[in-house]
Amino acid sequence: MGSSTPRNFTNLPLEIQFLVFANFDCARDLRALALTCKKLHNAVDNDGWRYFVERSFPSLSIPVPSGNRHTWKQLAQSLTWQSRCWDRRALQFQVLLHSPQGDNVRRHRQNVRGNAGHKGLFHSVVDAHFDPATHEELVVWGAGEDIVARYRERHEVDNFSNSSWHRINGKELGFRAAYDDVNSIKIVKHHTGRAIVTGRHNGTLSLISAEPGRFGDPISEFKFTSTSASDTNNASEPENVSSLDILQHGAKTRVAAATRNNLVIFDLPGDIPTELEPCATFDLKTEIFSLNTSRLSRARWMEQGETIALALSGSSNPLRYLSLTPTGITHHTAAKNATIAAQFELKDNGNICPNSLEPVYRDGGSRTSLLLSAWRDGTIRLQDLRTPSPFDAVYQDNVDPWVDAEALMTYGAERFALPSYFRPSLLEENSIPAPSQAFLKDPASSLTGSDKCSRGRACHYHEFSKHIYYRPNAKFYLSRSLINSSASIWSLARGSDISPNFYIGISGGVIEATLEPCPNNYPPDQLTVDPNFGFADWRGRTADGSGYMSRQVSPALMEIGDGYAYKHNDRPILLPKLKDCGGPPGWTGSRLELSKYHRLDMNYQMHTDFA
């Protein structure tokens, strides 16, 4: 028998190396491998980072690098940076508030329909888009009868940005406050660039330009026949557009518009005419509704346009879906899981939060039948629409189990956010936090580990951090630092799955939330935003004449348990402490001591927080 010579890793076939690259637990290990020799450095740069990103973040929609604006290595750097911030709850907030005094724009004096108690404030509906090829972000929102947009393009060298503001003044176009308010808005792409689809309370649906040089120019009007006023419960109430959803798959762009009794589908052709006729209409009053009190509240595309999920109000079966086939549209009631319903004592009494439907993608694509929905009993339900799937789960705020969620936002299958509530994942630090949670059992007695990580064996910290007890969900209280402390959240939007920020539509304005860890010193000696997709000047003041003013929001944070619903969540529990997370005051050269961000940053550590 001849002696065998161990093979050098660098001489292994690329297919074998790729398997190794894809199974690294953290980016640091892959970087260390790339530093060992030039051959491995090239292999990691060419394919290793791509395999790492695809394996580590499989449910996110990751843009394939093109040009010189970003690479797979930069994607790996940013996504791991963002994941660490999510785990630390390292979020900071700034509010953009409507300020009529800034440009003599009047404040609404009418009540927006359904907004009693918030006199003079509009319901802000928001959407955002981030283009990784140009590093330009566009955020738009409906402000009563007005439409506001902010463009922001990131510089490569210093991560600062060029920004501009634009506004459509609804009064100048003849729109009336309340009756003509924008209640749904979406950014779309078409052959000439970007556009905005807007639905108003008066029942009109329009396509307008979103390009800075011709912002607001009309492109097309969507024509559809609404249910006549005599068929509604209130003859004075228009058949308003209650929700919009956009399907963009390849070159195809489809719009699903929901009114009280109809779902209307439009195709956006390459050469868009001045008037767009629907390609399909589904009359729910004839096909589904048996009571006049039933109405369609929201519609969401799923399964690459083969399915549309529906949220109905006033129905005993409020969660439905439509199947779009070559022969027509058929409707179905979402499958029920009796075991799950019994386990969590769910009562399907028709009380679904109408704007809360959110598809959950597991493969970064556009095909899924998994859906999150919020209910008036405080639960967030994950359900497969077509089958009683084993993926079904029910979430709930363990501290305030009856709180409703008017909006949901998912990040693939990793986490989801709703008003004042976030569900993070794993954390990576050198200490073992010991939160006081009366509703969770301390797993320390059942978990094993060593003082340091060794080959094939995790240390105490990494073993413990796998358990939800040591990485509970977090709840941010935002209202106390707003001018109107009773402002409600109406919508959530993010530019893309790689964006380190997202937007929150509130009464009278918009809040920008950005992932940002606390620096070790002040002024900080290094960048505190995402190194590749963050805006270093995101706290910058608003442009003159924008009609808005910016203000830092100093939230309080509460850790609220594992987020799963239990039968006895309504029993009295010891409330966790609120923790201020204001951050450095102003970022304008102040030498004051750093404020505290969260329990894992070194400037927020308290002796009682750690074992």
The percentage of residues in the chain with a pLDDT greater than 70, rounded to a whole number, is: 71
Distance CA 592, CA 470 (A): 32
**What dihedral angle (degrees, nearest 10) is formed by the CA atoms of 426, 428, 431, 434?**
-10
pLDDT at 503: 96
- pLDDT of 101 strictly over 50: yes
Element (H, E) at 486: none
The dihedral built from the CA positions of residue 470, 346, 388 and 254, taken in this order, carries a sign that is: negative
Q: In what order do the strands lie in the sheet with 393-396?
A: 358-359, 370-374, 379-384, 393-396
| Contacts of residue 499, Cβ cutoff 8 Å, sequence gap at least 6 | 128, 130, 137, 533
More confident site: 262 or 12: 262
Q: In terms of Cα–Cα distance, which of 416, 588, 382 is closest to 502?
A: 416
Is the pLDDT at 236 greater than 90, yes or no? Answer: no
The more confidently predicted of residues 532 and 351 is 532
If you average pLDDT over residues 509-525, what whole number do you get? 77
DSSP 412: T
d(CA 574, CA 84): 29
Q: From CA 7, how far away is CA 185, in angstroms rounded? A: 59
Taking a C-beta distance cutoff of 8 angstroms, is the pair 431, 47 a contact? no
What's the one-letter identity of residue 505?
G
Confidence of residue 146 (pLDDT cuts 50, 70, 90): very high
CA distance 80 to 91: 15
* SS3 state of residue 469: helix
What is the residue type of 190? H
What's residue 159's pLDDT?
Answer: 72
DSSP code for 60? S
Q: Among residues 457, 441, 448, 334, which one has the least CA distance to residue 386?
A: 334
Say whether pLDDT at 161 is over 70: yes
Q: For the whole model, what pTM was predicted? A: 0.85
Q: Which of 12-16, 75-79, 245-249 has the lowest mean pLDDT?
A: 12-16
Residues in Cβ contact with 2 at an 8 Å cutoff, skipping those fewer than 6 apart: none
Sign of CA dihedral 336, 337, 342, 346: negative
Quick one: pLDDT at residue 172? Answer: 93
Q: What is the mean pLDDT of residues 563-591?
A: 59
Map residue 120 onto helix, strand or coil: coil
Looking at residue 224, its pLDDT comes to 76
**Helix (H) / strand (E) containing 33:** helix 27-34
Q: What is the pLDDT of residue 515?
A: 92
pLDDT digits (tens, 9 = 90+) for 385-414: 877 777 688 888 877 788 888 889 998 888
Confidence of residue 102 (pLDDT cuts 50, 70, 90): very low
The proportion of the chain whose per-residue pLDDT surpasses 90, expressed as a percent, equals 24
Q: Residue 5: what pLDDT?
A: 47
pLDDT at 604: 40
The pLDDT score that the predictor gives to residue 103 is 40
Contact 559, 576 (CB under 8 A): yes
Helix (H, G, I), strand (E, B) or coil at 332: strand
pLDDT band for position 105 (cuts 50, 70, 90): very low
Among the residue ranges 168-172, 181-185, 550-554, 565-569, the one predicted with the least confidence is 565-569
In order of their start, the domains of the chain are: 9-83 (1.20.1280)
Neighbour count for residue 355 (Cβ, 10 Å): 21
Q: Are strands 409-411 and 182-190 parallel, antiparallel or unpaired?
A: unpaired
Cα–Cα distance measured from residue 487 to residue 100, given in angstroms and rounded to the nearest whole number: 18
Roughly how many angstroms between the first and final C-alpha of the chain, as a whole number? 57
State mean pLDDT over 448-469: 66
Q: CA-to-CA distance for 145 and 142, rounded, in angstroms? A: 7
